[in-house]
Structure 1
Amino acid sequence: MKADASEPVKRKAYERQLRELHAELVKLQEWAKHAGGKVCIVFEGRDGAGKGGVIKAITERVSPRVFRVVALPPPTERERSQMYVQRYLPHLPAAGEIVIFDRSWYNRAGVERVMGYCTEEQAKGFLQVAPGVEKAIVDSGTILLKYWLEVGQEQQTLRMQERISDPRKIWKLSPMDLKSYSRWYDYSRARDEMFRATDTAWAPWYAVHSDDKRKARLAVISHILDSVPYEAPPREKIKLPKRQKPDGYEEADFARNWLA
């Protein structure tokens, strides 16, 4: 899946399309709860590619109890001693859940490999093992979707500069981001090898060019909806009941300090 290179999506058109997609995401949520569906969505990509914005666009109108976002911190000493994928397995979806990984087990194929947090032997071993692990996930009845967000060099530079200058965004900039920024082609080589090893029939990669953030968000949400065979479950007509009578109750000034 590749985003169209035509004109950027204007705000009004984006908001209209996103509103329609949000309604479908709610149907997807209700289907998962009703049918016991399991969906796992993996987001990877370059720093500044807009993973967080895509995830926010997906989750802003649905329940966090169903759409669960997983963004794991660096591993503890205990986790470093475990089988590599072990720390991710407890976060996979159970029936009625849609789990979104904001970076995933593919850290080993990207960040860890490029920045030297694992050996080449460990990285290559992961690439050999990952397809089998994902086959087991899919065979368990989980729908697994993997997205790579790709941003151009010029746009990445603009976004990194915004993180430096905008006090609302400085929390998004870490020392690791600055180091990663300088290693563009190392990341490109790692990405290409990751795709060759793990783009399988049962768990293919879907790449989206995200220079246009709005277009990327719409493309990803549309693809998720197209990839899951959901149907809106039956819904009874809802009518608000009548309120009880006050029976002598008088409203009290129960708070000393009102903010609004």
Structure 2
Amino acid sequence: MNKKDTKKEADEPVPQISKKDYEDTLYKLQVELVKLQRHFIKCGDKILVIFEGRDAAGKDGAIKRIIQHLSPRETRVVALGKPSDRDRSSWYFQRYISHLPAAQELVLFNRSWYNRAGVEPVMGFCTHAEYEEFMSSVPEFENMLVRSGIKLLKYYLDISKSEQAERLEDRKRNPLAQWKISALDQHALKKWKEYGLARDKMLAHTHNLTSPWTIVHADDKQLARINIIKDLLGRLDYVDKDERLILPDKRVVMPFDISFIEEGRLAS
């Protein structure tokens, strides 16, 4: 399939999924995730999955469904808070290193070192020199991780402005989601264009063959979740894989290509 055919397929509307089909498919995929965990524990694999995206893009929900039935001893979610004074005076990657996976572990980063490519420059939390140094050094840093044996997967969850506005408003009204509210929420829509430009620069400069980005069209939470899991399962080795079940919908999850920016195929 050439690039024109791929674009045509990606532009086709994605049918909604019923609640029953979603729940049935999710259950089957979670069984596959358990198979995957048995395999990477036995083989001593080290798996690192990075989730990035705008506020309310669905990172929490996707991670929750991935880890729901996995052993907590070999599964960790990393969601670091505001850096301390010591963190700010240290090598930028230093506070992330202790959270990297050891053998037999799956680690999921709910935001990562890519804060320096998105939130920090937009909000003025880093200098231009610090930003440029990060963009220059992160490909080599990730190459080192991959060469060390870490299986690295990077997902960017992309949502529309209207969907983000609706989710942020729902978050304010939901008493069970108050922990998700942050001081940065009020800037998410005000600085929509700035965040979009930062996203485009990040993807263009940090996507490569060793540590590629995968784009997720995430306006539909349920479709995003099941297709992220399918893609993840498809890219990792494990025994007794159900090959037909784990085929992702390429209209929802797809490898990043620079044409996505050039043709305006990301939310703007």
TM-score category by the smaller chain?
0.7 to 0.9
Q: Which has the larger radius of gyration?
A: 1
**Alignment partner, residue 121 of structure 2:** 113
Question: Counterparts of 1:169 and 1:97 in 2: how far apart (Å)?
Answer: 29
1:29 Cα deviation from its structure 2 partner: 0.6
1:104 to 88, 112, 117: 112
Contact persistence 2:51–2:59 (CA under 8 A): yes
Question: Counterparts of 1:220 and 1:171 in 2: how far apart (Å)?
Answer: 24
Question: Counterparts of 1:21 and 1:4 in 2: how far apart (Å)?
Answer: 25
Question: Counterparts of 1:4 and 1:203 in 2: how far apart (Å)?
Answer: 28
**Alignment partner, residue 259 of structure 2:** none
Question: Counterparts of 1:164 and 1:39 in 2: how far apart (Å)?
Answer: 34
Between structures 1 and 2, the one with greater helix share: 2
User: 1:173-210 CA deviation, whole Å, 9 max, x = no partner?
Assistant: 11211122210010000010001110010000001011
**Alignment partner, residue 183 of structure 2:** 175
**Alignment partner, residue 101 of structure 2:** 93
TM-score (norm 1): 0.86
Is 1:198 the counterpart of 2:206 in the alignment? Answer: yes
Contact persistence 1:31–1:232 (CA under 8 A): no
Structure 2 counterparts to residues 242-257 of structure 1, below 5 A: none
Contact persistence 2:161–2:189 (CA under 8 A): no
Question: Counterparts of 1:195 and 1:162 in 2: how far apart (Å)?
Answer: 29
1:4 Cα deviation from its structure 2 partner: 6.8
Question: Counterparts of 2:174 and 2:134 in 1: how far apart (Å)?
Answer: 38
**Alignment partner, residue 6 of structure 1:** 14
* Secondary structure of the structure 2 residue equivalent to 1:91: coil
2:69 to 41, 61, 72: 61
Question: Counterparts of 1:32 and 1:232 in 2: how far apart (Å)?
Answer: 13
**Structure 2: 5+ residue stretches without partners:** 1-5, 242-268
**Alignment partner, residue 239 of structure 1:** none
Contact persistence 1:49–1:149 (CA under 8 A): yes
TM-score (norm 2): 0.84
Q: 1:4 to 1:120 in 2, by over 3 A?
A: farther
Question: Counterparts of 2:202 and 2:147 in 1: how far apart (Å)?
Answer: 22
Is 1:212 the counterpart of 2:220 in the alignment? Answer: yes
Is 1:15 the counterpart of 2:23 in the alignment? Answer: yes
Give the letter aligned to residue 166 of structure 1: N
Question: Counterparts of 1:48 and 1:4 in 2: how far apart (Å)?
Answer: 25
**Alignment partner, residue 158 of structure 2:** 150
Is 1:77 the counterpart of 2:85 in the alignment? Answer: yes
Question: Counterparts of 1:18 and 1:214 in 2: how far apart (Å)?
Answer: 9
* Secondary structure of the structure 1 residue equivalent to 2:72: coil
Give the letter aligned to residue 196 of structure 2: S
**Alignment partner, residue 126 of structure 1:** 134
Q: 1:140 to 1:56 in 2, by over 3 A?
A: same
Give the letter aligned to residue 172 of structure 1: K
Q: 1:41 to 1:4 in 2, by over 3 A?
A: farther
Amino-acid identity (%): 44
2:53 to 45, 57, 65: 45
1:3 Cα deviation from its structure 2 partner: 9.6
1:32 to 35, 40, 44: 40
